[in-house]
Structure 1
Amino acid sequence: MPLLSIITVTYNAERFLERTIQSLLANQPGAEVEYLIIDGQSTDHTLDLVRQYEKHISRWISEPDRGLYDAMNKGQRLATGDYVWFMNAGDELYDATTISRVLSQLRTNPADVYYSDALFVDNTGKPLGLRSRITPHTLPHTLTWRDMAMGMKVCHQAFMARRSIAPDFLVDNLSADIDWEIRCLKAARKAVWLDFILCKYLTGGLSVQRHRQSLADRFKVLATHFGTATAVWNHVRIVARAVRFRFNRKENR
C-alpha cells in the first residue's frame, strides 16, 4: 500500500498537464507514492500526454463527470494511499526534493493533516509570489478549522489529508475545497505545518473564471460551518481586509 496518493484532475489540459507530470518525475517517486489522473473525457490532446507518460501513472480514467469536484471525488475513491494530495493540471511540486521531504514527515511526524505555503505562478511559469504574502491570507503555524472563518487559509494544493478522514467534495459548489479543508480539520486530531513550500499553484482556475458564483458559494460554506450571522459579519470583515491589503501593497511599492 502506498503512503501517499497524488491525484491530478484534467479536462482539455494539454497546455499544462506535462508541467505537472514533469514536476512529479523530477522527484523520482518510488513505491510509497501512487499517481492518479482523473480525466473528464477530454477532446484535445490531453489523453495523448497521459498515454505518453503511462508507465509513470499508477492509474488513470477518462469518462464524463459533473465537473471538477465530481472528478476529485472519483480520484479520492480510487486512491489507496494513507494520504491524499491534489495537484491539478498546471500545478507543480515545488522542487525536486518535495516528495522526499513530505515522506519523511509522514513517517516521522504522524498527523491527520499537513499544510504549507504555495508559490503562485502564471501561465508561463513565472513566479508571482507566495500566497501568504500576495494575498490577505496569512498562514498560521497552528491551524484549526476555526481559522477558516474568513476564507481559505491554505491553498488546496498545499494541503494534504489522511484519506480515512477526508470527506467527499460538494459537487455543485465552487468553494467545495474550503468546505473539504474545514471538514478535514474538524476530523483531524493533529495538523502539522511544514516549514517548506509544497507547490507551485497555477493561477486563474475555475473560482477566478466564475468569481461571482464562487463568492456566493463561499458564503454558503461559511454559513454552514459558522452560522449565517457570523458569515455575514465575516464577509464585511473580508471586504475591509481586502481593501486594507490592497492599499498597503500600493503604499509599499
Structure 2
Amino acid sequence: MRNHHHTPKFSIITVTYNAESVLEDTLQSVISQTYHHMEYIIIDGASKDSTLSIINRYKDRITKVISEPDKGLYDAMNKGMKQATGDYLCFLNAGDSFHEDDTLQQIVHTITESELPDVLYGETALVNNERHFLRMRRLSTPEVLTWKSFKQGMLVCHQAFFAKTSLAEPYDLQYRFSADFDWCIRVMKKARTLHNTHLTIIDYLEEGMTTQNRKASLKERFRIMARHYGMISTVAHHAWFVLRAVMKK
C-alpha cells in the first residue's frame, strides 16, 4: 500500500561566494518548489560582487542568511549544517537547481516505507549556462546504493544525495576538493536504509574544473578510498581504470 503520510522537512543549503552570474536560477528553483515543508539557508563567504543584493531581493523566502569570511566551501557547508533543523540535508550549490518545480514533492511521493529512509538519492542532469540540457551525468546511479558503491567513484552526485540530518557529521576540512566524497561514504556507513527515488533531482551546471584542481581532486579521492576501502582494493580498482582508459585509446 502506498502511503503518503510523510511530510519530511528539507534543509536546503546554498553556499555562495561572488556568485552573481549563476545564483538567481538556484534561488528561483528553490522558492518555486510546490512542497513547502522546507527551510532555505544561504551561507555566503563575504562576497564582493552583487551576490548579497540578489539574495536580499528574495530575503522573505529565505530562512537564514549568514555572510562572513570562511575557510572555503566545506567550512561554509559545515556552518550551514549547524543551522539546519530539517529531517534531510540538501546542498544545492550556486548555479545548480532542482530539476522541476515539484521535485521535492515528487521525492516525497516515492517514499513508501513506514519510516523515513536514512538517505534519498537520484539522478543528475548536466546543463549549460542557458540551463539547456547537455547530457545525464557520466556515472550512472546504482539501483541499490551502499557505502561500498563508491569504490567505483562518486556514483551519485553530492547534490542529488539527501542525508538525514541526524546522520550527518561535519565535512573533513583536510580535503579541499573531495570532502563531499568522504562525507557521503561516512553517511552511508551509518545508514540502514538508502532509498532510490528513480527521479532526476538536480540540474547541475557544467563548469570545467581546472586541470590543476582535477589532479588535486583525484589525489584526494585516492586517499579517501584508501582510507575507507583499504589500499590494496583501491590500487586494484585504479589499475583497472587505467587499463580500461589505455585500451579505449
Using structure 1 for the length normalisation, give the TM-score: 0.89
Deviation at 1:108, TM superposition (A): 5.5
Structure 1 window deviating more from structure 2 (100-109 vs 5-14): it is 100-109
Q: Closer, same or farther in 2 for the Cα pair 1:222/1:10, shift >3 Å? A: same
> Residue type matched to 2:187 in 1?
C
2:40 aligns to what SS in structure 1?
strand
1:116 aligns to what SS in structure 2?
strand
What is the match of residue 50 of structure 1? 55
What is the match of residue 158 of structure 1? 160
- Answer whether contact 2:140 2:155 (CA < 8 A) is retained: yes
CA distance in 2, matches of 1:26, 1:218: 35
CA distance in 1, matches of 2:183, 2:244: 24
Q: Closer, same or farther in 2 for the Cα pair 1:101/1:2, shift >3 Å? A: closer
> Residue type matched to 2:97 in 1?
E
Q: Deviations over 1:139-189 (max 9, x none)?
A: 211100101112101001111000010111111311111111111110001
Q: Closer, same or farther in 2 for the Cα pair 1:36/1:107, shift >3 Å? A: farther
CA distance in 1, matches of 2:122, 2:210: 21
1:84 aligned residue (73, 89, 98): 89
> Residue type matched to 1:69 in 2?
Y
What is the match of residue 251 of structure 1? none
Confirm whether residue 116 of structure 1 aligns to residue 118 of structure 2: no
Q: Closer, same or farther in 2 for the Cα pair 1:151/1:52, shift >3 Å? A: same
CA distance in 1, matches of 2:168, 2:244: 30
Deviation at 1:75, TM superposition (A): 0.6
1:170 aligned residue (166, 169, 172): 172
1:196 aligned residue (177, 182, 199): 199
CA distance in 1, matches of 2:158, 2:212: 17
- Answer whether contact 2:35 2:102 (CA < 8 A) is retained: no
Deviation at 1:207, TM superposition (A): 7.6
Deviation at 1:195, TM superposition (A): 1.6
- Answer whether contact 1:2 1:34 (CA < 8 A) is retained: no
1:218 aligned residue (216, 221, 227): 221
Q: Closer, same or farther in 2 for the Cα pair 1:228/1:108, shift >3 Å? A: closer
Deviation at 1:97, TM superposition (A): 1.5
2:187 aligns to what SS in structure 1?
helix
- Answer whether contact 1:207 1:214 (CA < 8 A) is retained: no
Q: Which stretches in structure 1 are left out of the alignment for 5+ residues?
A: 248-253
The count of corresponding residues between Structure 1 and Structure 2 is 241
- Compute the RMSD of aligned alpha carbons: 2.0
Q: Deviations over 1:176-225 (max 9, x none)?
A: 11111111110001000012110101122668661110011111100100
2:185 aligned residue (165, 169, 182): 182
1:60 aligns to what SS in structure 2?
strand
CA distance in 2, matches of 1:38, 1:74: 7
Using structure 2 for the length normalisation, give the TM-score: 0.90
How high is the sequence identity, in percent, across the aligned residues?
42
- Answer whether contact 2:91 2:158 (CA < 8 A) is retained: yes
CA distance in 2, matches of 1:208, 1:84: 30
After the TM superposition, which residues 99-110 of structure 1 pair with which residues of structure 2 at under 5 Å, given as runs? Answer: 99-105=104-110, 110=116
- Answer whether contact 1:122 1:128 (CA < 8 A) is retained: yes
What is the match of residue 3 of structure 2? none
CA distance in 1, matches of 2:119, 2:33: 22
Q: Which stretches in structure 2 are left out of the alignment for 5+ residues?
A: 1-6
- Answer whether contact 2:171 2:179 (CA < 8 A) is retained: yes
